Structure 1
Amino acid sequence: MNETETLTATPEGLTRAAQILSAQGLVSFPTETVYGLGGDARSDLAVARIFDAKGRPRFNPLIVHVPDLAAASAFAIFDARAEAVAAAFWPGPLTLVLPLRADAGLSPLVTAELDSVAIRVPAHPVAQVLLRAFGGPLAAPSANPSGRVSPTRASHVLEGLSGRIDAVLDGGVCAVGVESTILGLVGEPALLRPGGIATEALEAMLGPLATGGNAQKPNAPGQLASHYAPGAAVRLNAESALPGEVRLGFGAGQADLNLSVSGDLIEAAANLFHLLREADRLALPGQTIAIAPIPEHGLGRAINDRLRRAAAPRG
């Protein structure tokens, strides 16, 4: 692999990114949630390169990104319920897991050879332009080494994957800051991963949601027990820091870094991965990152999900 190109979100940069993708290369691009690592979802070679670049286990399926519902319908089977959910929340930070069309033409590596597919329509304008310029579906997990902190800036992508991917398309800072909510609609609706759409918003439309998925046989991304981990160990629900700890705060109180001084969960979600990286830089060898309690509602559910996985024992 040659040096990773940094492309700007100009017509020239977007054309270059689409050319790389059409040649089965890998391009990291911004979405409203985090930066994705895009490859042609129809190409076994491109998708295999995604797994290799990230060091991602092959049994962990990928999300397919498309520009609109019409494009999604070529790969997944939408019933009336799925169409209604898509109409309400797309484009946006919601991934739907739906039955895979028999003639979808996706690489089986994308779906981990399951009979379902995870698919979403991103809202970020750069992602939208790139998808239309490329003219096909992009498999795009987060653009970071597997299990590590997700990237919300182009510089984060380069920290983890420089020299392992062809290019990064710099579209600035991701506004939402945590990955998409994943909703399973194969059978009864199930929350497979909390994320950028609050669970309460989905339940207002669909009723109470079951939870699904497991780390041994994931049916969607984000279900591995240890994930989103910084180099330092993580201690959750820390009302204060112990001697030698780096404290990542939320709301009022003393902290080395603060997700949101005002206690705003939207701001905290947007800051989460960047400040986890910054806390990791501040932590000396052997030190722990102590994280303040986060309310378990709205985007707090997604934040706590990421933090529990960041603090989990690592394999």
Structure 2
Amino acid sequence: MAKVIDTRMDPEATLEEAVAVLARGLPIAIPTETVYGLAADATNPEAIARIYETKGRPRFNPLICHMADLEMAERYACFDPLSRQIAEAFWPGPLTLVLPVRANTSIHPLVCAGLDTVGIRVPSGFANRLIAAFGRPLAAPSANTSGRISPTSAGHVNADLGDRIELILDGGAAKVGLESTILKVVDGAVHLLRPGGLDVSDVERLTGSKVIRQKSAGATIEAPGMLASHYAPAAGVRLNASRVAPGEALIRFGGTALPGEESAAIVLDLSPTGDLREAAANLFGHMQKADATGARSIAFSPIPATGLGEAINDRLERAAAPRS
């Protein structure tokens, strides 16, 4: 089983131990403000292969590279002026930019899944300190079995991957609770590849122009989280429920009771006050709790699609999609 270390107890010793494991080419679970990531040296092909193997992740699905700061990111990717403006405004934070990779980059092609672009993010907190200490970018998808619910605590990671990895860093509950927003600038226009923890309206206010929504992945997966079925619990998922079937798990929003919930396996509320930021932070944790009841299906009451609700609904639609 994995060793679990609380990053808040002895940060310097934890950094030293984590860097030593990474240097051996092994993936470790790390806390970030979005969700927990399964991190490994982005320049080491064996380390990257271990990420794919540990998660059971398809190798056509690219990985996000995490950097310590913009200066580090510019050593590996080419920034146009608009991408740089967005990065300067929102890094560190829950933002990933898809950018052209630099010629002769040391990021291994396995990270990019055959593309000439790479997704780059600068996280905050302990993950940022770890990357700086390691001195190389970390490829880090979510620390869970591919396609399943993303982890927002060390406990979630341990329950899923604890017998497959050596080290889990426990930084407490993820503050944002949703993966990063993924953007790509094309011909001077900002395209949304995946909604996430950064509200797109904040980007639009910064740039003064609308962000173009790209709902379908098409033939090429340009970024993580674009597969039709993703973020799925073992139970089926039913959206926009107006009532609850007996034995079904219910995850509601805004404190509004649904008919039949007295016979539900469990009743959880993403935010009794209707706060979308609180709902985002609770989404995956509540899905984990509902799934743990063994209910055959999880019903979700309607959630507004404005602000962070856009990202929440994106995750729910993919969780409810038909599975292979």
Q: Does 1:262 align with 2:262?
A: no
Amino acid at match of 1:241: V
8 Å contact from structure 1 (residues 98, 186) kept in 2: no
Cross-structure match for 2:264: none
- Once the 2 structures are TM-superposed, how far is the Cα of residue 240 of structure 1 from its aligned partner? 2.3
Cross-structure match for 1:63: 64
Q: Does 1:232 align with 2:241?
A: no
Cross-structure match for 1:155: 155
- Once the 2 structures are TM-superposed, how far is the Cα of residue 288 of structure 1 from its aligned partner? 1.2
Q: Does 1:313 align with 2:316?
A: no
- Once the 2 structures are TM-superposed, how far is the Cα of residue 215 of structure 1 from its aligned partner? 5.8
8 Å contact from structure 1 (residues 97, 186) kept in 2: no
Task: Name the SS of the counterpart of 2:102 in structure 1.
Answer: coil
Provide the C-alpha distance between the structure 2 equivalents of 1:259 and 1:296, rounded to a whole number of angstroms.
14
TM-score (normalizing by structure 2): 0.93
Q: Does 1:209 align with 2:211?
A: yes
Cα distance change of structure 1 residues 233 and 226 upon mapping to structure 2, 3 Å threshold:
same
Task: Name the SS of the counterpart of 1:302 in structure 2.
Answer: helix
Deviations 1:100-159 (A, max 9, x none): 101221110100111111001002x11111111111100000000000000000010111
Provide the C-alpha distance between the structure 2 equivalents of 1:66 and 1:80, rounded to a whole number of angstroms.
19
Cross-structure match for 2:184: 184
8 Å contact from structure 1 (residues 215, 224) kept in 2: no
Provide the C-alpha distance between the structure 2 equivalents of 1:44 and 1:247, rounded to a whole number of angstroms.
43
8 Å contact from structure 1 (residues 8, 14) kept in 2: no
Aligned residue runs from structure 1 range 1-315, under 5 A: 3-9=1-7, 10=10, 11-123=12-124, 125-187=125-187, 188-206=189-207, 207-212=209-214, 214=217, 216-254=219-257, 256-284=267-295, 287-315=296-324
Dislocated runs of 4+, deviation >6 Å: none
Provide the C-alpha distance between the structure 2 equivalents of 1:281 and 1:221, rounded to a whole number of angstroms.
26
Of 207-216 and 144-153, deviating more is 207-216
User: How large is the Cα RMSD of the aligned pairs?
Assistant: 1.2
- Once the 2 structures are TM-superposed, how far is the Cα of residue 12 of structure 1 from its aligned partner? 1.2
List alignment gaps of at least 5 residues for structure 1: none
Provide the C-alpha distance between the structure 2 equivalents of 1:73 and 1:186, rounded to a whole number of angstroms.
18
Provide the C-alpha distance between the structure 2 equivalents of 1:258 and 1:116, rounded to a whole number of angstroms.
39
Provide the C-alpha distance between the structure 2 equivalents of 1:27 and 1:288, rounded to a whole number of angstroms.
32
Amino acid at match of 2:83: A
Task: Name the SS of the counterpart of 1:234 in structure 2.
Answer: strand
8 Å contact from structure 1 (residues 240, 247) kept in 2: no
Deviations 1:22-73 (A, max 9, x none): 1111111011000000000001000000000000000000000011000000
List alignment gaps of at least 5 residues for structure 2: 262-266
- Once the 2 structures are TM-superposed, how far is the Cα of residue 216 of structure 1 from its aligned partner? 4.0
- Once the 2 structures are TM-superposed, how far is the Cα of residue 242 of structure 1 from its aligned partner? 2.1
Provide the C-alpha distance between the structure 2 equivalents of 1:120 and 1:314, rounded to a whole number of angstroms.
29
The number of residues matched between the two structures is: 310
Task: Name the SS of the counterpart of 1:109 in structure 2.
Answer: helix
Amino acid at match of 2:19: A
Aligned sequence identity (%) = 52
Amino acid at match of 1:164: R
Amino acid at match of 1:128: N
Amino acid at match of 1:159: A
Provide the C-alpha distance between the structure 2 equivalents of 1:147 and 1:249, rounded to a whole number of angstroms.
23
